[in-house]
A and B are shown apart, each in its own frame.
Chain A
Amino acid sequence: MSSTSALLNLLSAALLIYSLIRLHRAKLEWDAYTRLMLNWFLGTLAVISSANLLYWPSLLSTSTASTLDLILDILQLLAAVFFLIFLHAFGQSRWHAAVNSKQKDYQSMLNKLPGVSYRSTGDEQALLLEVSDNVESLLGVPAANFRGKHRVSLLEYMHPEDRESMLPAYLDCIADNRPFTFEYRLINPEGEEIWVIDRGHRVNSSEGKHVVEGILLNASRLVSAEQELSQQEEHMRMQQKALLRLCEFSGSLEQAMQLVTRIMAETLDISRASVWLYTQDRTQIDCLDLYSRESDSHQHDLSLTLTDYPGYFGFMEFGDVIAADHAQEDERTAELRDSYLAPLDIQSMMDTPLKIDGEVRGIVCAENQHEVKKWSIDEQNFARSVANVVSLMLEISVNRQIEEDLRKERDRAQSYLDTVNVMIVSLNNEGRVLLVNDRACDLMGYTIDEIIGKHWVSSFVPEEERTELLKVVSDAYKDTGSLRSSYENHVLTKSGEKLLIRWSNAYQTNDEGKIIGLLAAGEDITEFRRQREEKDRLQDEMQRVQKMRSIVQLTGGIAHDFNNMLTSIMGYADLAQISMKRNAEIESDRYLGAIRATSKKAGNLVSQLLDYSRENVLVKTPINLNDVVRESHRMLEAMMSSSVQMIDELEEDLPDISANQAQIQQVLVHLCQNAKEALHDKNATLWIKTSVKQIIGASCTSCFQKTNGRFVCLEVIDNGVGISSAVSAHMFDPFTTTKEVGEGTGLGLSAVHGIVHMHEGHILVQSEPGQLTRFSVLLPINTATETAHEPIETTEIIDKKKARREGPVRALLVDDDESVTRLLSSFLQRNGIESEVMNNSLEALSNFEKDSTAFDIVITDHTMPNMTGLELVEKIRSRRKDIPVVLCSGYNEMVNEDEARALGVSRFLNKPVRLETLASVISELTSA
């Protein structure tokens, strides 16, 4: 060996020895085995290096050197082996260190989990094999207690009840290899129950056994929260049930308040509950009801003055709940402490304002005595709900009171409507019935329900009248001024009968004045109309009977006059005949004059009879009442007893009246006849007076109507026995008579009443027994200007006649009575008028048509066979309009003057026609 090699070996040996020493001193975290292998490795190398020094400077023998070589080679081999073992040991130790580190990390992580992770045997013992450290926080038992040799079962800490119920299911899940989740109670060493949720599943251990790995979660808070939630739900349910009971209550307000306070006290589990309401002037608050659970009693005679507790009521005005747990200390309720809270030992109170229409009207008060109660949000909400319900109850109560008042008012109005004897019907804008009274129902035979809501016109008006009535109603809505205040129409009853109703109508309007319907009051005039028609019929009959009676009476008197006249005529005729035989012309002429005068009187008398016998056709003409009296005088004289003195007192220049002369005569006759019956004394006197009277506020004795104005008055006054008040009250009623049965009809004054009122006049009667009886008939003055009925045609005729007038006048004379035509023809001929006589109207027309210009005038009778005089006139007029026509008639029932004039008759003459009158008329019509 060279010295260099020896030095290198020496250095190596020193380094290795240094390393061994350092290794020995160093505090390495190596296990002993690793350290030992490394020591041996380094020691072997150190030995080898040291031994190599023995080769320098070749001191050893060959054999020794050979032995040393062998030893060194063996040491070299050992060093390699030691190094290999060292590597392995080092790796193992580091591996275990890493595993332990990882295990610590996992354990730390498990401990940070919210639950306790565990591993247990998968059998019925459930022995804990592993458990995380935080088991101590769950059970209060250190984890080390579960990691000893003596294994602990989780079942030991389980609540016995839960263990019994859970274990079978737990074993089933393990057997079926299903994950499980159980909720059960553990009991810690202090005996406290701990709710846990156990979630786990089966796994196979490294030994191939079934073990369970799971985690235990502390569910105590969750369960507690669930229980609290459940309790809250129960409270809510109770509150809802209580509110439902309140809402469903339908008794009186007092009962409702008692129910409110009781339910509130029971639901909130408090001592007292009450409802308070402000007075109208809001100066105090009165208790509607206060319920005390201790005494189980209600009281309501309490009140608080607002000025005594301004702060408290001020807070109430904010409108929110005052929930004072410590009511006596709370600033909102402290004012009540001395006078209210402390004496009653009220510790907590919760006041909820009652709001109606947004205004605080009262308080719902919940109070707890003797101990403090914390008002939860739910309880405050419940109190608000109760306050809302009470507000509704109060509103409903007020509305009920209003409805009750309205119902009473409606019933009262209905009773008023039902008591009146007219139908009351109210219709809306659609024409449907809104209201109807009992009278209407009675008349129509329906019930109220059968009428209300029906369309009135469609349902209760006869079909033939519906269209017109609908138009009337429609017009009434279109034009508010067009409502007919009075209207008559028929109404159908349930039995189909038609009632004639006279309606008085009015609009119904709302507060804004808008029309919302019609109100109609109807009077059943069916019977009235029937009676009136019957009355009219009876009056007509009465008038006819009365007229006949008058005629009969007149006949008796007139026959005497006629006989006298005939006697006179016949006598004078005989004398004239004798005188003519003697050629005593002067005597003959005197006798004939007497005949003529007597005949004239007879003609007048007949004329009066004809006038009186005319039917009651009211054709009014301007007449003078004095003329009527004068013309009737003779007839009345004849009717009266000879012992009765008749005195006419007629006012001069009496205005005309518009009247039917025959009927006015009839009135006069009836009144005189009536007077005659009362005149029995020797000094019996009958006055007939005419005058003009101004009447102010007098009542008509027959129609009782107030009368005003200027009238022509016809008075019939007698000094007979007078009329008693009993008779005077009904004297204008038909068949009222003071005469014996069979002597009179009792229709006279009824006829007078009818006629006078048909002439728009009135009757005033003044009479008392033993005094003058005065019947004053007031007839309206004819104010129309009297104009001559001179037809234009006549003027034209005269003008044309003027133009062509030459030679004698030629007349066409038509009458079916030959004696009349002969007489008239002779008369006309003697007056220089040529006449062509025709006794047949058809022949007359034919003759006229042959040459219509051949005649200057036509004189015709009216009543003729084949063709009446009027028909003839009409035909003649169609041929020639300018020819004057004179129509003569002896019976005015067939034609009246106005009608005749309208058909073209120039002049109308009543038969018997006086020849002088005829001559005058012809002269007038044909003159220049």
Chain B
Amino acid sequence: MSEKTLTRMDLSEAVFREVGLSRNDSAQLVESVLQHMSDALVRGEQVKISSFGTFSVREKAARVGRNPKTGEEVPINPRRVLTFRPSHLMKDRVTEGNKR
């Protein structure tokens, strides 16, 4: 199985095929979807897409890290990170689809 990388272009192509809007409008809609999801996450909201998965923002406390090369201690500031938890449906499809 040769691994491919899909991009926005492939998603808008799929929208184009499915709904029959212009390629331009399809690309615009893909962008809006990503934009609305990002905006909600930046506001600190969870984004929960049923049968796909949940994106949530987690607060990480400050801690002392270490430069693995030099062993030097460096402070790591508190920050917000995004985690994605796939739905059971997605996990099952990915597991099944990649079985050989």
Say whether A associates with B.
no
